[in-house]
């Protein structure tokens, strides 16, 4: 037996023989994302599953995202029926939760159960900052349209500006499912990189005096208000914009479980076990969509660039409107809280707090920033509903 031929045959049967330069590049990108998540601790709960899913998708011959092979055959009665000849990969089936729009509302359920809407209820003006931070969505929508994307594609790209991964996935699955991969990776990557992307924009648009503003303590919010709020928001949004009811309804349902105090087991499950499981499935399969052949194309890289513009535009829109409120209030509102309107809860609010404390170590605007932050979640879901209502109808 020729040992040399055996060795050559073995090497040809491994993934090394079919590894392409593009696959190697994407594996390198997954390593960078893992480094940022594990060493730099940039949103590891999101970035670790995404990066590892990207790694799995680009290892040759693994086939975890491979679709099933289906053939149409004739049964005993002469009727043509589809028969699965070969089953698909594990991640292909888990990905159906993204593709069918199942995971995003469930993520919203968990977010609602984790989030205190008290700061928004105590300061309703925060809604304006959350709305202003959606500016990036519509600026990028216009830009994507001018670059040749269709209306539904441009809407799906623009929603990245809301910095809300589940909303971006939900809208894209309805309007432009063929763009789910790049939009999902862009949306979640930018969410994870909020601490890097936002501060330079915030500092560039504000003065030291504005960043140093100390805001008055928010008024206490009663338990009755906290229970009524999610119920009323659900009714109003569902009546005015039914297409947003899936996201907003699950967000408010989760919050009601939290605030009603009679469903603690359900609330804890929604914000812990259920949310963790869905995050693992969603993050891993989102990362697995970033295969080399689909991702390293001019069109995909253009979507990534437009997503960054959308995110930066949303941050800038919130801060600029915060400056307007600073002027109108006679200097009582710190414009940095406007950046939290991009919806990445609670990370964007923490970034607002961090930048404010760099100027004034005794300043504490976190709870004030949570108002626009929560309003941004609702605002991005409503923006998605508006776009879905127009292009999906």
d(CA 376, CA 164): 9
Mean per-residue pLDDT over the chain, rounded: 90
Measure the CA–CA gap between 275 and 110, rounded to whole angstroms: 5
What is the rounded radius of gyration, in angstroms, for the C-alpha atoms of the chain? 23
DSSP string for residues in 231-289: HHHHHHHHHH-GGGHHHHHHHHHHHHHHHSSS-HHHHHHIIIIIHHHHHHHHHHHHHHT
In a 10 Å sphere around its CB, with 0-12 CB exposed, 13-18 middle and 19+ buried, how is residue 241 labelled?
middle
Which comes out higher in pLDDT, residue 383 or 192?
383
Instruction: Tell me what pLDDT residue 12 has.
Output: 64
pLDDT above 60 (res 76): yes
In the predicted model, what is the mean pLDDT of residues 302-324? 91
Answer for the pair 342, 314: CB distance below 8 angstroms, yes or no: yes
Q: Model confidence over 344-378: pLDDT tens digits? A: 888 899 999 999 999 989 899 999 999 999 999 99
Find the mean pLDDT for residues 314-340. 94
Q: Find all residues with CB under 8 Å of 232, minimum gap 6, and list them.
A: none
| 343 band by pLDDT with thresholds 50, 70 and 90 | confident
CB 73 within 8 A of CB 80: yes
Residue 355, Ramachandran bin (φ over 0: left; ψ between -120 and 50: alpha; else beta): alpha
Q: Is 312 helix (H, G, I), strand (E, B) or coil?
A: helix
Q: Is 10 a residue whose pLDDT tops 70?
A: no
In angstroms, the CA 50 to CA 190 distance is 12
What pLDDT does residue 58 have?
A: 92
Within 10 angstroms of residue 114's Cβ, the number of other Cβ atoms is 17
Which token pair is 123?
């300061």
pLDDT given for residue 63 in this prediction? 87
Provide mean pLDDT across the span 123-140.
Answer: 90
262 backbone dihedrals φ, ψ, rounded to 5°: -115, 5
Q: Has residue 113 got a pLDDT over 80? A: yes
Residue 294: pLDDT band by 50, 70, 90 thresholds?
confident
Give the pLDDT of residue 150.
94
Q: Per-residue pLDDT averaged across 4-26, rounded?
A: 76
DSSP state, residue 214: P
pLDDT of residue 83: 86
pLDDT of 15 > 70? The answer is: no
Mean pLDDT of the region 72-95: 88
pLDDT tens, position by position, 228-267: 999 999 999 999 999 999 999 999 999 999 999 999 999 9
Check: CB of residue 285 under 8 Å from CB of residue 104. no
Give the position of tokens 């899936």: 246
Q: Token pair for residue 235?
A: 């009714």
Q: What is the mean pLDDT of residues 113-134?
A: 93
Q: Look at residue 393 and tell me whether its pLDDT is greater than 70.
A: no
Residue 296: CB partners within 8 Å, gap ≥ 6?
A: 22, 25, 26
pLDDT of residue 230: 97
- Segment 187-203 shows an average pLDDT of 87
Report residue 186's pLDDT band, with 50, 70 and 90 as the boundaries. Answer: confident
Q: Is the pLDDT of residue 1 over 60?
A: no
Show the tokens assigned to 39: 């060493």
Asked whether the predicted pLDDT for residue 164 surpasses 90, the reply is no
Sequence-ordered list of residues with C-beta below 8 angstroms from that of 122, at least 6 positions apart, any chain: 218, 219, 220, 221, 371
CA distance 69 to 222: 57
What percentage of residues in the chain have a pLDDT greater than 90?
64
Task: Answer yes or no: is pLDDT of 338 > 70.
Answer: yes
* Residues facing residue 83 across a β-bridge: 71
H or E element that contains 8: helix 3-13
pTM for the structure as a whole: 0.88
pLDDT of residue 11: 64
Cα separations in angstroms, 48 against 33, 231, 347: 8, 35, 17
Per-residue pLDDT tens digits for 321-333: 999 999 999 999 9
CA distance 339 to 341: 5
Tell me which DSSP letter residue 339 carries.
G
pLDDT at 301: 85
């Amino acid at each position: 037996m020729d040992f040399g031929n055996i060795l050559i045959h073995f090497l040809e049967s491994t993934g090394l023989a079919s590894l392409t330069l593009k696959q190697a590049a994407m594996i390198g990108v997954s390593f960078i994302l893992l480094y940022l998540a594990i060493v730099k601790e940039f949103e590891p709960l999101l970035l670790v599953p995404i990066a590892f899913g990207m790694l799995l998708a680009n290892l040759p011959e693994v086939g975890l995202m491979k679709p099933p092979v289906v053939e149409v055959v004739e049964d005993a009665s002469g009727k043509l029926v589809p028969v699965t000849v070969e089953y698909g990969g594990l991640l292909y089936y888990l990905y159906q939760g993204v593709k069918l729009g199942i995971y995003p509302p469930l993520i919203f359920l968990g977010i609602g159960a984790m989030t205190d809407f008290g700061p928004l209820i105590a300061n309703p003006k925060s809604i304006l900052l959350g709305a202003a931070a959606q500016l990036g969505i519509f600026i990028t929508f216009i830009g994507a349209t001018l670059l040749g994307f269709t209306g539904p594609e441009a809407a799906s790209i623009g929603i990245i500006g809301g910095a809300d991964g589940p909303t971006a996935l939900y809208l894209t699955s309805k309007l432009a499912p063929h763009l789910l991969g790049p939009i999902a990776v862009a949306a979640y990557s930018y969410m994870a990189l909020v601490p890097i992307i936002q501060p330079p924009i915030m500092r560039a648009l504000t003065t030291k005096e504005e960043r140093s503003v100390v805001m008055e303590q928010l008024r206490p919010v009663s338990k009755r208000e906290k229970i009524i709020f999610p119920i009323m928001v659900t009714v109003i949004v569902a009546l005015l914009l039914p297409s947003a009811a899936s996201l907003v309804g699950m967000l408010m349902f989760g919050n009601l479980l939290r605030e009603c105090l009679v469903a603690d087991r359900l609330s804890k499950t929604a914000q812990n076990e259920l949310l963790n499981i869905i995050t693992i499935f969603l993050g891993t399969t989102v990362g697995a969509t970033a295969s080399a052949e689909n991702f390293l194309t001019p069109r995909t890289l253009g979507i990534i660039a437009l997503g960054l513009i959308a995110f930066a535009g949303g941050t800038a829109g919130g801060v600029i409107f915060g400056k307007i409120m600073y002027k109108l209030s006679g200097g009582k509102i710190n414009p940095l809280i406007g950046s939290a309107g991009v919806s990445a809860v609670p990370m964007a609010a923490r970034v607002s707090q961090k930048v404010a404390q760099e100027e004034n170590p005794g300043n504490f605007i976190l709870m004030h920033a949570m108002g626009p932050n929560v309003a941004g979640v609702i605002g991005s879901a409503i923006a998605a509903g508006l776009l879905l209502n127009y292009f999906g109808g």
